[in-house]
């Protein structure tokens, strides 16, 4: 019995030692300075599974594994988040685009909510409280919307999946156009609507928080898989 306990203890100690983990320093190459920066924060590394041996064997085989768990990242830009129209007379008007740039290394869902016709700013006032509002989106920078290409504002709401692709990795650019129809019954006032676009990363790793930071302790995500 005593010998069995000693053996179990030895196996437990061996397992703990074999899976010991240690975080090591990381340097990142800075393309602007042409130098290596230490502790850039965009990558961390841990060593684990140390091993050793001592006997008269002729050949030793030591398996060395390198594993990179890559998180999903996203870069985006929009060169305008507000249109302000100054309308002197009734009419049907449209304006050319702002652009939206999206780059990621995994599936991305774009969700639109709250888009609607522009509404009279003050409550319970105005003859016609709404200005018909339309949108046009295209990936073609040279495209010009035709009369039938427009989408009513409320129909913009919903979600679309932008699938992982080489084009998405390199960056996609979309162009958004805006159109309003001001009629005689639109009283003099400010009309406004605010919609929200949400970018959701679909392939994020479990060791990244919702705010994009590392989950601590990071050692929990090191496995024995080779």
Q: Tell me: the pLDDT tens digits for 101-132?
A: 999 999 999 999 999 999 999 988 889 999 99
Q: Which of 114, 108, 113 lies closest to 73, judged by CA?
A: 108
- The HSE-up count of residue 200 (CA atoms within 13 Å, CB side) is 10
Q: Which of 8, 179, 25 lies closest to 91, judged by CA?
A: 179
* pLDDT tens-digit readout, 176-224: 999 999 999 999 999 999 999 999 999 999 999 999 999 999 999 999 9
Domain boundaries, the chain: 2-71+206-221, 74-201
The CATH architecture assigned to 74-201 reads Sandwich (2.60)
- 196-201 vs 108-113, strand pairing mode: antiparallel
The answer, yes or no, to whether the previous bond of 78 is cis (omega within 30 of 0) is no
Two structure tokens written together for 160 = 């679309």
pTM of the full predicted structure?
0.83
Two structure tokens written together for 62 = 């030591």
């Amino acid at each position: 019995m005593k010998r069995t306990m000693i053996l179990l203890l030895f196996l437990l100690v061996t397992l703990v030692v074999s899976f010991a983990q240690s975080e090591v320093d990381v340097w990142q190459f800075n393309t602007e300075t042409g130098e290596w920066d230490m502790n850039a924060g965009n990558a961390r590394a841990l060593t684990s599974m140390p091993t050793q041996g001592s006997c008269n064997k002729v050949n030793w085989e030591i398996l060395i594994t390198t594993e990179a768990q890559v998180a999903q990242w996203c870069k985006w830009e929009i060169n305008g988040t507000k249109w302000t129209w100054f309308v002197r007379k009734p009419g049907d008007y449209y304006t050319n685009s702002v652009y939206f740039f999206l780059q990621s290394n995994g599936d991305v869902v774009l969700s639109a909510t709250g888009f609607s016709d522009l509404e009279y700013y003050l409550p319970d006032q105005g003859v016609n409280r709404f200005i018909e509002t339309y949108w046009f989106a295209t990936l073609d920078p040279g495209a010009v919307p035709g009369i039938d290409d427009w989408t009513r504002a409320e129909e913009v709401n919903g979600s679309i999946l932008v699938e992982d692709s080489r084009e998405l990795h390199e960056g996609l650019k979309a162009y958004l156009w805006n159109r309003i129809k001001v009629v005689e019954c639109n009283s003099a006032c400010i009309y406004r609507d605010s919609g929200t676009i949400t970018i959701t990363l679909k392939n994020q790793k479990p060791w990244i928080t919702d705010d994009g930071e590392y989950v601590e302790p990071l050692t929990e995500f090191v496995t024995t898989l080779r």
